[in-house]
Amino acid sequence: MKSRANGYVFALAAIVIFAIQDGISKHLGTLYPPVLVSMIRYWAFAAFAVALAARAQGGLKATIVTKRPVLQVLRGVLLPTQIVVVITAFTVVGLAHSQAILAATPLFVALLSMPLLGERVGWRRWAAISAGLIGVLLILRPQQGTFDTSFLLPLSAALMFAIYIITTRLVSRADSAMTSFFYTGIIGAVAISLVGPFFWTALAPTDWVWMLLLCVTGTSSHYFLIRAYDMLDAVAVQPLTYLQLVFASIMGVTIFGETLTTNMILGSILVVAAGIFTVWREHVVARRKAGLPPQ
């Protein structure tokens, strides 16, 4: 019981820090190229991944062994690209609207799991996915009769992260979680470092403080989330992650002067409800396949 309680504490800490990280990313993204912000942040993430791998069983020598190198490279390139798109979305679309659309990621994962993983989706999950997609359409609904193409940024980011999750599931069939985490950091840092220097801009001294905070929140949030997943099932953690949307909306309105529309609020409620049900249903089906009793 104590372990589960600690798991919830770690999960909530990770979500709060993720929200703070998003706010700092938006602030820096409005002043500097998102590629530059992502690159420096990724350097800290790569160092964190190496440190964790060194402490893992077998150390770095065991961690670097992968049976799916192509998939690991694909994942490693995909995540920093997605982060660049997310930071751009925060600055162009806004923190609250972007997080509302990103909340649809579990729905896209469920959709893509059919052709890419060969998984079967029953009518219950189809109903949840359909409801969630209606919620996305509500969030995207044009205010003046014309579609805002900037909304394609968070939508693309959600799809990219869904593909990243799918490839992670694929590679988990052959590689350990620590190996995947290591390659996410190393490949991602190398990939973005090939592009980032072309966008180099001198940071003001005060903004280096913000950048340091971004690096600290980026590593600490991942650490707390890893600890949470060590103690809790994904079905317990996933509903809590939607609190990030609440925190992002609060920051967007109070700090960045964003406006929440009725469509966005109603759409977000649909997306969150559908996402929670989808993750719960996947958990139920997985336990049934494993011959375990339902929880």
- The answer to whether 79 touches 191, Cβ cutoff 8 Å, is no
Q: Encoding tokens for residue 219?
A: 């590593």
Q: Encoding tokens for residue 253?
A: 């309105």
- Residue 198 sits at the vertex; the CA angle it makes with 196 and 204, to the nearest 5 degrees, is 75
Rounded to whole angstroms, the Cα distance separating 41 from 43 reads 6
Rounded to whole angstroms, the Cα distance separating 100 from 104 reads 7
Per-residue pLDDT, 59: 86
Digits of tens for pLDDT over the chain (295 positions)? 557 778 888 888 988 999 999 999 999 999 999 999 999 999 999 999 999 888 888 888 889 999 999 999 999 999 999 999 999 999 999 999 999 999 888 888 888 887 777 777 777 878 888 888 888 888 887 665 566 788 899 999 999 999 998 888 888 888 888 898 899 999 999 999 999 999 999 999 999 999 999 999 988 888 888 888 777 776 677 777 888 888 888 999 899 988 888 888 888 898 888 888 887 777 776 667 666 665 5
- The answer to whether 152 touches 85, Cβ cutoff 8 Å, is no
Its pTM surpasses 0.85: yes
